[in-house]
Amino acid sequence: MPTGVRCAIVPATPLPHESPSRMADRLKIATWNVNSIRSRMDHVGRFVDENAPDVLCLQETRCPDGIFPSSPLRKLGYEHIVLNAKSGHHGVAILSKRPLADVVIERTAGIDEPRHIAATVTFAGAPLWLHNLYVPAGGDEPDAAINPRFAAKIAFLDALTAWSAVVGRAGRGVLVGDLNVAPLPDDVWSHKQLLSVVSHTPGETERLEAVRSAGGWVDAVRKVRPVPEKVFTWWSYRAKDWKAANRGRRLDHLWVTADLGGSLAAVEVRPETRDWERPSDHVPVVATLTA
């Protein structure tokens, strides 16, 4: 249930080269764990210049509402901004070139951290729900009995299953975010070696699949790039040469409700951002919906 709202909404103006009718029939959505919005504003600006998403969903903003860089983001065209944030290694935001409405914040599994925000945007003449999630990472030890952070992650995923069954089955929705689970064997560089590593343990992957299945969500990335193709969205900072090692995981996801599966015109992962100076360890995922 909704427990609070923090938002800033300012009327948007269509881009000069796009008519309102064209905008209404196409929606480009990006999701990115930016790993500190204030540290990577230049990256956000470059990404927006090169990809021009209509909606940009950010995770791990690490920035309280009061000092969130709304002004420079509005200059990039995102006049509609809704936030759920405070200091710490979390925080989520939805930035949009179109008006946002019906803002909702969920507190999942009793965890009082800013890990969810949702709002509606108009697509093809009707409201479309956008859910932006940041699932707890879970720490290093995959044992809930001795690692409270892993226990919290398991509780979060369990709580999401019942929530998903309601939200996903309601139709016309998109769920994005850093879900901190690489669910499939081809979502990690080595299925065998990562089975006991947090983010790919059976307890996590089975739970995330339960969340997806409960809502009937379509995994947009895998619809376009099916297994056995390896797809990663995260590479550790520990690797001296992340590209040469290529020990990645697909932790960042973009799901659509079943009724929108036929509207997926394109889905892309943008690994080039991992090569930028002082990058986030996550890269964006971008989907384009057409009516």
SS (HEC) of 125-172: CEEEEEEEEECCCCCCCCCCCCCHHHHHHHHHHHHHHHHHHHHHHHCC
68-75 contact pairs (CB < 8 A, 24+): 68/37, 68/93, 69/37, 69/38, 69/41, 70/8, 72/41, 72/45, 73/44, 74/10
CATH label of the domain that carries residue 79: 3.60.10.10
Instruction: Please check whether residue 36 lies inside any domain of the structure.
Output: yes
Global pTM exceeds 0.95: no
Instruction: Identify whether 2 is part of a domain.
Output: no
Give Rg (Cα) of the chain: 18
Q: Is there a domain that residue 1 lies in?
A: no
Q: State yes or no: cis peptide before 99, omega within 30 of 0.
A: no
Residue 21: φ, ψ to 5°: -65, -40
Give dist(CA 138, CA 133) in Å, integer. Answer: 15
Question: How far is the C-alpha of 90 from the C-alpha of 34, rounded, in Å?
Answer: 10
Structural domain tally of the chain? 1
Query: Does residue 48 lie within any of the structural domains?
Result: yes
pLDDT single digits (tens) 63-82: 988 899 999 999 999 999 99
Residue type, 204: E
What's the token pair of residue 228? Answer: 């056995």
Q: How far apart are CA 242 and CA 151, in angstroms?
A: 30
Residue 215 lies inside a defined structural domain of this protein: yes
Are the CB atoms for 149 and 139 separated by under 8 Å? yes
Grouping H, G, I as helix, E, B as strand and the rest as coil, residue 56 is strand
Domain, as residue range, for 152: 7-290
Examine residue 53 and state whether it is found in any structural domain, yes or no: yes
Ranges of residues in the chain whose predicted pLDDT is under 50: 1-22
Element (H, E) at 211: helix 202-215
The predicted pLDDT at position 87 comes to 80
Residue at 205 is within a domain: yes
Hey, what amino acid is at 21? Answer: S
Residue 82 lies in a domain: yes
